[in-house]
Amino acid sequence: MRILITAGPTREAIDPVRFLSNRSSGKMGYALARVAVRRGHVVTLISGPVALRPPPKVSFVAVTTADEMLAAVKRYLSQCDALIMAAAVADWRPRRVSAQKIKKATGYRLLCLEPTPDILKQLRSKKGRRVFIGFAAETERLLTGARRKLAEKGLDLVVANDVSRRDAGFEVDTNRVTLLEAGGGVRVLPLMTKMKVAARILDWLEAPARRGCASGAAGGRVGA
């Protein structure tokens, strides 16, 4: 298949030296890209700023902001059979960005924030026969939040993980996830490396039912 994968955080500038972001390391998205390439898929990896080297044999696109990630995903979506949205896109950005470094001063400084674009929601109308996979990083009521995301964004699969745990989620090499399917299926996976989690997600994507759905989504034959 031709698989489009997003990874890492985005950064939203406050001033020339400061930004809003999150703790995403990109390890899960990069693991997905690495496993997919090893299995013979054609992979485009769109990544926010991370301290990782892109896997060999992937088409790599570096972005910084949520707007840049949205533009890149829109650009490459027509060329893919499946989208795996593993990036942790910053939810908020300052409404105004200072052109100069904001000097430290006594007292409080208020930032007026606005939401960043919801990439999956914006792409829902362009899904067609493509397979869409999203991630739900939660610190409470994991399955409730994941099911809401599954429905609101028209996903085929959502990968839910509790990022409050020390051995799973951001900045570590392991993950403990639950796979929730649009059809109602639920698979609870034990603690495992992110490479193994990536393999399980690819196993799901490569199942005959998904391959048939994605076949021809990008206007051509889908191969393993």
Annotated catalytic residues are 22
CA atoms within 13 A on the CB side of 36: 31
Residue bearing tokens 């996903």 = 155
DSSP state of 7: E
**Among candidate residues 85, 190, 77, the one with its CA nearest the CA of residue 133:** 85
Helix (H) or strand (E) holding 192, with range, is: strand 192-193
CA 134 to centroid of chain Cα atoms: 6
What are the CA-CA distances from residue 169 to residues 68, 94, 138, 196 (Å)? 24, 26, 9, 14
Helix (H) or strand (E) holding 194, with range, is: helix 194-206
DSSP state of 13: E
CA 59 to centroid of chain Cα atoms: 16
C-alpha 174/C-alpha 212 separation (Å) is 31
The amino acid that residue 50 corresponds to is V
Q: Is the alpha carbon torsion for 74, 27, 192, 147 positive or negative? A: negative
